[in-house]
Amino acid sequence: MDEKQLLKVFNQKWLIKQKLWTPLKRYWKGSPYEMLIALYSNRFSKNMLKGYI
């Protein structure tokens, strides 16, 4: 999945569907944005994500 595709689908609902709810909740308090920042070190901003637009 390229960056553009990721940003179109990346949200809490998609992460749950991908079976990533436990790490999302445990390490990032359920915040997809915090997860993305931790994994990609400030590569994306909140307004780039589908749920924050």
31-45 pLDDT, tens digit each: 988 998 898 887 888
Q: Where are the domains of the chain?
A: 3-52
pLDDT tens track for 10-29: 889 999 999 999 999 999 99
**Dihedral Cα 20, 26, 28, 31, nearest 10 deg:** 60
Categorize the per-residue pLDDT at 46 as very low, low, confident or very high, splitting at 50, 70 and 90: confident
Its pTM stands at: 0.73
**In which residue are the tokens 């990609």 written?**
40
